[in-house]
Structure 1
Amino acid sequence: MSRGRKLKLGLFVQGAGHHVAGWRHPKAQSGSENFDLIKQVAQKAEQAKLDMIFFADGLTTSASSPASVVTRFEPITLLAALSTVTQQIGLAVTASTTYYDPFNLARLIASVDKLSGGRVAWNVVTTSTPEAAQNFSNTAHLEHHLRYDRAAEFVEVVKGLWDSWEQDPYIVNKETGEYIDQSKVHELNHTGKYFAVKGPLSVTQSRQGHPVIIQAGSSGPGQELAARIGEVVFTAQQSYADAQAFYASLKGGLRKYGRSPEHLHILPGLFPVIGNTEKEAKEKYEELQHFIDDSRAYATLEERFQYDLSSYSLDDPIPDIPESDGRKSRPQLLMKLAREKGLTLRQLYREVAGARGHRIVVGTANQLADHIQKWFEGYAADGFNIMPPFLPDGFDDFVQGVIPELQNRGLFRTEYEGSTLREHLGLPVPQNRHSIVPTP
């Protein structure tokens, strides 16, 4: 392994699987609201020594939504439940800076971080879906650049609230009547462009200080926010060369904020289909593709591009699609993929239905390990966010085949380095701003 780096692996959990039709597989268990299945998968990921399990979120739904996202638990609540049935694995949750309030979200995430013993990460998103505004008493969705501007201030407010309490503030002296060391609690008194927050927070810090900050945007503003505040970055990268370029660009941007490259881990999504032979793996993938319902093609592509494609035939080449103010990086990635492969709308839909633009790798466990090793050692990734096509077998194949091979190659841990997520990731505990001794 290069320069002492350690491979990082997360599990991206969607109860109905990441393949749009994976739930139709004979061995699939549908689990969007199946806590027993989610618990089983989380415990299996912990036994495999993965760094974290990750839950996305969405603020809109309808009965016609894809099975993987039509229903889902509110993820912070879900993490609280999972914290009681796991001991070491990290717990990562998505929450929107556009539709939450900083004080409320800081309190919720700090509470779960405390309950879990310091294992929580927050995936900072700005919400790309314009319809979300209508669920929050708003008539209009903030423009893309304003959402990122708001997000930067939001995160700084949350981090300031997490510093409300220095470590070990309790005295609990029954004789003197002192319960709290009042010198260790601090108001924030923030007044900014978007927020005015007094504080302090009503939750003290966990052992890891702050929950880990994850960022998932790969657009220009998204990368800038990641360089500024991100400690883990989730991204979608199709080619090795593009992944290397993204890696070098983002890591290079850290210097602007006085940050060290090893304090940010880049984890592209990886959709694995694994067989005992390459032929068997390809047959498994074709079986999954066979379950896809092409009648959903227009709705799926229009949701991705936020553009009406109904006037085109599914067997037409991809037309020129104007950039929307919602998603930026993913439509650009999909357009690049379609142009490079010469895909029709139908073919692009089937790519999206498989992994939504993330890298699909079909092969044996050794071939999956080869892919991971190449990208890791070639500085195209620090690890991967694993996206099983369906559960539980799609993840079992990875745990039983790929994890042992990565361990045999000395690329992945056999035991956790500690009990907090920061210890797993090799990230420093942020120093509480109120504990910093001024330089004379």
Structure 2
Amino acid sequence: MMNLIIVFHFIFLFVGQSWANEFRYADFLKSTVKIEDHDKLLIPYKDGELLIELHSLLGAGNTTNVLDATFKNKRVALRLPKSNGQFNTYSAYVDFLENYYQGQMILEMQGVSVPKIFHYEKDKYIIVEKLSINSGPDLETLFLKKETLDENIYVRAVARLDDFARELAPFSLIKDFHLKQARYSLEEDKWYLLDWMDSHELFTDIEDSVALEKRTVEQKYEELAQAMNSDSESLDLKNHDMPDDANRLLNNLKKIITEERKIILETENEFLTEKLQKIESAKSVEEFIDLITSPAPRFSRHYVETILDIVIEQSRFDRLKILEKIPFYLISDNQDYLRLVTELTQKEMTIHELAELLSLKKVRIMNINWELTMRIQKLITDNQNILSAADYEILIKHPFVTNYAKNWIEKNSSCYTKMGHHFSR
């Protein structure tokens, strides 16, 4: 197998054949290395380390490299950050692993065909299912480069496109979605979504935008048209009009998504009516948590907003216990998480509840208004309770907490932290 060079920094460091064939995780991220088939990588795993086998580079994006590997006798895809540093002012490379992990949960819950996650080592790597997709087309090829496909493959891929559209129906937006990130598997005879970020947005009304918008395909077609030479005939781009086949497919997909959304809303309304009755009669916080944790089989933004209303307004059960077990689908969309923070901080809240609330979701880029910023600051500076080490670490690092509040925590940490320990940032 040919050597594959993975570049983890802009400065290339070529490693010769004398390099050992066993790498440690930290060293692997810091250097440019050649991967030989059957090389070994020692990775952090739970409370120890695990040696996995590397084979080749499957793909590389701006923030993540995907390697063909063997994990516990299973062929998998290993997603690694391209570096252990900052990607930009706001984000480290490892933040995009968290984005992938969080984005996958709500996609899988709604029935979208995505690679299964076998193991996520937070801020380190993700081990996911390796799919058999090498011989199938992506959406860009299907819509805009039909001429390059074997006719039998094209027919099979089109036949399964309706199913994929139904899977995408709950979403009005899948973050960072583009045409090459959806691919047809000949072996499994189905379409897969391969990559994304968070946070995705669910539809509210049947006619809301769809994840696969016709305009997205038109824009890609225009890009291809501009890139082609004027004498090219291969993709019929001269007139900048999309192929009729692509237009027909996209119009049909929009119709299918609309019909599927009607079904989702009908099923959701029946499910929600029964669910609300059970929540109203819940006798314990454990029963309440169990009821809000299991949503409708597929659901819209209306379902999420309804359950969030209940969580925010309920006063019968211990709020802290609910926050500790809050289901991720309720805060998968950053808008919903921000709403939860905004409305709960308007209520009487302990410092421990605030820390738990702010720890529910890793915040990368999320703007909050001045009023919310000041409420969080006041909750901290008015606190007279003991501040635990865990709460300290959450609050002192959180971007929603002002520098004034962080300085206040530092100044008072010896008084308000358990056992008088002082912690540095």
TM bin, normalised by shorter chain, reads under 0.3
TM-score scaled by length of structure 2: 0.23
The structure with the largest alpha-carbon Rg is 2
TM-score scaled by length of structure 1: 0.22
Structure with more contact order per residue of length (Cα contacts < 8 Å, sep ≥ 6)? 1
